[in-house]
């Protein structure tokens, strides 16, 4: 009897995860991928686990037969579980617990023989199995062909692609839950008068949405155990999460201190994507099983830090409205944290949140992970943040954040955590191949039409825009302090824009010497006129975004103006996440959180 390594991976995320802009649907698909190992375990209970990640897993099984026969048998056995719609239907019909939407996902399954089970042999087999997975991905359907059904009377809601064969009660106007109020700000429709109406969804969307609506709370409890229950609470005191991207930035902006929030920030959300630098290489050195086990423990600590930060402020007195959305639905008070975990585990993390939390979150993300190491090898991430209007499709936001992180890695910035932020003030961020690079032409100038060459290449752009994670908190603090100064002491924003206009009058590329000279002249002139000294007095180094490469003055100033509204917005000094004790909650204990987002453990009920 021979040993075989079987690798299973979920693929084609654009068509299976980010095919709608409904958070519950996206969440259901993402959690289904996270639980892919459960399907493999159910199909092969005798298998020995090698590793499991956000959308992939590998096991070792013993089987008789040649490679083709064993591969076919294992693929058929696993697919029998993955494609079984019975548990999904039973969950949607409320006859059983909601099941992961495996039939709505696309997976690839490949098998490699093992001569022995030592670390080097397994690592080599994993590489081969992954290569076969990639090949298979391009040889099979991106989506299964549409089935013929007489129930498909209309196109499915949300995705507007596949036939709607499943009737689901949805709030009336779901997908457009906002109306304009007198102050021209978006607000939620009146939930007290909200009516449910039956709409048709495709089976895939219905399955993912049903799982996403029920499994979200379980995700945090599964990952955090007693700490999750202690932090989020139970019963009437339990904190949930917002249900849609459109709800995420909503607040009552007539309340103090929220009314100081800049208009440009109020309707924006941020997608934060973090991709591990060289995790595959470290995994090979340490061993797959050891690496996966240690990384899971580190991820758990990170998730606890994130939830502690959100819950701490949500239950606090000062900024709870910025972390928590409160509204009524069906006659009941509902509370939802303004956070969505869209991808978890493995090398990649993906979150959505209001734009005003993105930079404090990123600074805390670095603080929480800066000491990570496995097998003596330090771990770091490339972080891409996309800020855009809340109506921007989540697929689009995710792709842009992914491109930003990939750009930093391609530019060789893999030794330390970097953060790259792209802000889109318009309603329509780029949605085409290389769209992010073209959007950055506003900073670097368009390519020469005669040659097609840009003044600054794509990799150099990535280097110039990336910020080192270890300097982000200091920059945020410095710029926040500057914004608190009165107009006589601080550099007015109007003068920043005037200097940039002077630079653009000389050159379309803010990264060249002509732009730097124009900015220097403009700010020197302003400083002299106002009796404030010179450039370094009105625009000192502490106000300039940190950089991994020497960044020209014009580009520094442009980045400050882009990030200005999202740091200390309207005087709201939101502290970054703070890493505190990592103490487990025991039976009968409850986590206490204060207004600064710090956690402690106490017996009994919080007073």
For 252-296, the DSSP string reads -TTSTTGGGS-HHHHTEEEEEEEEESSHHHHHHHH-HHHHHHHHH
Distances (CA, A) of 428 to 160, 434, 535: 20, 15, 36
DSSP-derived 3-state class of residue 480: helix
- Strands 56-63 and 106-114 come out as unpaired
The whole-number pLDDT of residue 452 equals 74
Q: How do the residues of the chain divide into helix, strand and coil, expressed in percent and rounded to 5?
A: 45, 20, 35
Average pLDDT of 586-596? 44
Give me the phi and psi of 525, to 5 degrees please: -60, -45
Cα dihedral 505, 507, 512, 517 in deg (nearest 10):
-30
Please enumerate in sequence order all residues whose Cβ is within 8 A of that of 556, keeping only pairs 6 or more positions apart, or say none.
544, 545, 547
| 22-44: average pLDDT | 93
pTM for the whole structure: 0.88
Work out the average pLDDT over 61-90: 96
What mean pLDDT, rounded, does the chain reach? 86
Rounded to an integer, the average pLDDT of 311-326 is 90
Cα 393 to Cα 15: distance, rounded to the nearest angstrom = 13
Cα dihedral 389, 305, 576, 314, rounded to 10, equals 70
Annotate 529-551 with b (16+ C-beta within 10 A) or e (fewer).
eeebeebeebbeeebbbbbbeeb
- At 366, list the tokens: 């670095």
Q: How far apart are CA 513 and CA 194, in angstroms?
A: 58
DSSP string, 452-467: ---SS-HHHHHHHH-E
Q: How many residues does the chain have?
A: 607
Percent of the chain with pLDDT over 70: 89
User: Residues 61-80: what's their mean pLDDT?
Assistant: 96
In angstroms, the Cα distances linking 354 to 29, 240, 275 are 22, 16, 21
DSSP summary character for residue 127: H
Neighbour count for residue 380 (Cβ, 10 Å): 22
Instruction: List the structure tokens of 573.
Output: 């000094």
Instruction: Pick left, alpha or beta for residue 570 (phi over 0 → left; psi -120 to 50 → alpha; otherwise beta).
Output: left
Question: CA–CA separation, 341 vs 232, rounded Å?
Answer: 15
If pLDDT is split at 50, 70 and 90, which confidence band does 514 have?
very high
Contact by Cβ (8 Å): 272, 383: yes
- Residue recorded with tokens 């824009």: 497
In this prediction, residue 330 has a pLDDT band, given cuts at 50, 70 and 90, of low
Q: Where are the beta strands (DSSP E) in 202-267?
A: 240-241
Q: What is the mean pLDDT of residues 445-461?
A: 84
Q: Are strands 332-337 and 240-241 parallel, antiparallel or unpaired?
A: parallel
* Paired tokens of 421: 């932020």
Q: In sequence order, what are the beta bridge partners of 198?
A: 169
pLDDT (0 to 100) of residue 358: 96
Output the pLDDT for position 601.
Answer: 35
- How many whole angstroms separate alpha carbon 155 and alpha carbon 435? 30
Could you give the CA distance from residue 577 to residue 310 in angstroms, rounded to a whole number?
Answer: 9
> Would the pLDDT of 604 be above 90?
no
Asked if 246 and 329 touch (Cβ cutoff 8 Å), the reply is no
As a whole number, mean pLDDT of residues 552-563 equals 96
The CA-to-CA distance between both ends of the chain, in Å, stands at 62
CB atoms within 10 A of CB 375: 12
Q: Which residue has the tokens 């003055």?
A: 553
Task: Give residue-wise pLDDT tens across range 392-419.
Answer: 988 899 999 999 999 999 988 988 999 9
- Whether omega for the bond prior to residue 375 falls within 30 degrees of 0, making it cis, is no
Close Cβ partners of 317 (under 8 Å, ≥ 6 residues apart): 595
Write the DSSP symbol of residue 434.
T
Using alpha carbons only, what angle is made at residue 115 by residues 111 and 118, rounded to the nearest 5 degrees? 100
* Phi, then psi, of 398 in degrees rounded to 5: -65, -45
Q: Are 455 and 511 contacting, i.e. CB atoms less than 8 angstroms apart?
A: yes
Q: Rounded to the nearest 5 degrees, what angle is found at the Cα of 593, between the Cα atoms of 592 and 596?
A: 155
Residue of 332 and 374 predicted with greater confidence? 374
**Three-point CA angle 390, 322, 331, nearest 5°:** 85
Per-residue confidence (pLDDT) for residue 590, from 0 to 100: 43
At 178-231, the pLDDT tens digits run 332 323 333 333 344 445 678 889 999 999 999 998 888 789 988 999 999 999
Average pLDDT over residues 386-397: 92
Which stretches of 411-471 are DSSP H helices? 435-439, 441-444, 458-465
- pLDDT tier at 328 (50, 70, 90 boundaries)? low
53 has a pLDDT exceeding 60: yes
Instruction: State residue 333 phi and psi, 5-degree precision.
Output: -70, 130
Instruction: State yes or no: pLDDT of 487 exceeds 80.
Output: no
Averaged pLDDT, 135-164: 81
Nearest-CA neighbor of 303 among 39, 38, 34? 34
If we measure between CA atoms, which residue out of 145, 165, 133, 168 comes closest to residue 58? 133
Instruction: Name the β-bridge partners of 384.
Output: 273, 420
Lowest mean pLDDT among 103-107, 281-285, 304-308, 515-519: 281-285
Other residues' Cβ atoms within 10 Å of the Cβ of residue 396: 20
The whole-number pLDDT of residue 182 equals: 28
Whether residue 382 contacts residue 275, with contact meaning beta carbons closer than 8 Å, is answered with yes
List the one residue out of 118, 197, 115 whose CA is nearest residue 157.
197
Lowest-pLDDT range of 191-205, 351-365, 428-442, 498-512: 191-205
- The label of the residue with tokens 């202690």 reads 230
Please choose, from the candidates 372, 371, 349, the residue with its C-alpha nearest in 3D space to the C-alpha of residue 362.
349
Placement of tokens 């959690």 in the chain: 31
Q: How far apart are CA 491 and CA 493, in angstroms?
A: 6
Q: In sequence order, what E strands does 206-315 have? A: 240-241, 268-276
Residue 20 in 3-state DSSP?
Answer: coil
Q: Mean pLDDT lowest for which of 184-198, 226-240, 343-357, 572-586?
A: 184-198
């Amino acid at each position: 009897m021979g040993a075989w390594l079987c690798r299973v991976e979920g693929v084609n995320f654009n068509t299976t995860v980010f095919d709608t802009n409904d958070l519950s649907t996206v969440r259901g698909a993402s959690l289904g991928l996270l639980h892919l190992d459960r399907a493999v375990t159910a199909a092969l209970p005798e298998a020995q686990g090698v590793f499991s990640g956000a959308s992939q897993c590998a096991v070792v099984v013993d089987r008789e037969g040649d490679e083709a026969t064993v591969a076919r048998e294992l693929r058929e056995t696993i697919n029998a579980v993955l494609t079984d719609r019975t548990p999904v239907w039973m969950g949607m019909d409320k006859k059983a617990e909601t099941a992961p939407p495996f039939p709505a996902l696309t997976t690839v399954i490949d098998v490699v023989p093992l001569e022995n089970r030592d670390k080097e042999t397994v690592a080599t087999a994993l590489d081969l199995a992954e290569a076969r997975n990639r090949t298979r991905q391009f040889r099979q359907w991106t989506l299964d062909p549409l089935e013929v059904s007489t129930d498909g009377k209309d196109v499915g809601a949300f995705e507007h692609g596949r036939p709607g064969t499943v009737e689901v009660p949805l709030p009336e106007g779901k997908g457009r839950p906002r109306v304009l109020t007198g102050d021209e700000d978006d607000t939620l429709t009146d939930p007290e008068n909200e009516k449910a109406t039956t709409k048709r969804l495709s089976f895939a969307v219905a399955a993912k949405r049903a799982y996403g609506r029920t499994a979200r709370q379980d995700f945090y409890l599964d990952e955090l155990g007693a700490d999750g229950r202690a932090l989020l609470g139970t019963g009437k005191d339990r904190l949930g999460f917002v249900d849609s991207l459109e709800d995420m930035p909503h607040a009552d902006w007539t309340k103090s201190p929220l009314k100081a929030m800049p208009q440009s920030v109020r309707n924006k959300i941020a997608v934060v994507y973090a991709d591990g630098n060289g995790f595959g290489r470290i995994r090979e050195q340490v061993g797959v099983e050891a690496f996966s086990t240690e990384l899971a423990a580190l991820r758990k600590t990170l998730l606890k830090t994130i939830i502690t930060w959100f819950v701490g402020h949500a239950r606090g007195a000062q900024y709870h409205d910025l972390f928590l959305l409160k509204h009524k639905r069906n006659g009941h008070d509902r509370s939802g944290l303004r956070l969505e975990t869209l991808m978890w585990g493995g090398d990649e993390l993906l979150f959505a949140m209001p734009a005003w939390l993105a930079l404090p979150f990123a600074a805390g993300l670095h603080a929480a992970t800066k000491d990570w190491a496995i097998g003596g090898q330090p771990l770091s991430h490339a972080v891409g943040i996309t800020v855009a209007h809340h109506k921007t499709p989540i697929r689009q936001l995710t792709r842009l954040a992914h491109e930003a992180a990939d750009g930093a890695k391609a530019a060789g910035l893999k030794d330390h955590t970097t953060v790259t932020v792209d802000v889109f003030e318009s309603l329509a961020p780029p949605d085409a191949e290389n769209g992010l690079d073209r959007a950055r032409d506003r900073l670097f100038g368009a390519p020469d039409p005669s040659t097609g060459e840009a003044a600054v290449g794509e990799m150099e752009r990535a280097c110039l825009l990336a910020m080192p994670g270890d300097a982000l908190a200091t920059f945020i603090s410095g710029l926040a302090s500057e914004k608190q100064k009165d107009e006589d002491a601080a550099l007015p924003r109007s003068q920043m824009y005037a200097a940039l206009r002077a630079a653009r009058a000389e050159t379309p590329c803010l990264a060249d010497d002509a732009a730097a000279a124009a900015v220097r002249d403009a700010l020197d002139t302003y400083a002299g006129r106002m009796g404030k000294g010179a450039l370094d007095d009105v625009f000192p180094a502490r106000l300039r975004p940190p950089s991994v490469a020497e960044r020209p003055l014009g580009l520094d100033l442009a980045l400050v103006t882009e990030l200005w509204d999202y740091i200390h917005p309207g005087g709201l000094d939101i502290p970054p996440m703070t890493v505190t004790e990592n103490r487990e909650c025991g039976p009968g204990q409850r986590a206490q959180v204060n207004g600064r987002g710090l956690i402690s453990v106490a017996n009994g009920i919080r007073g």
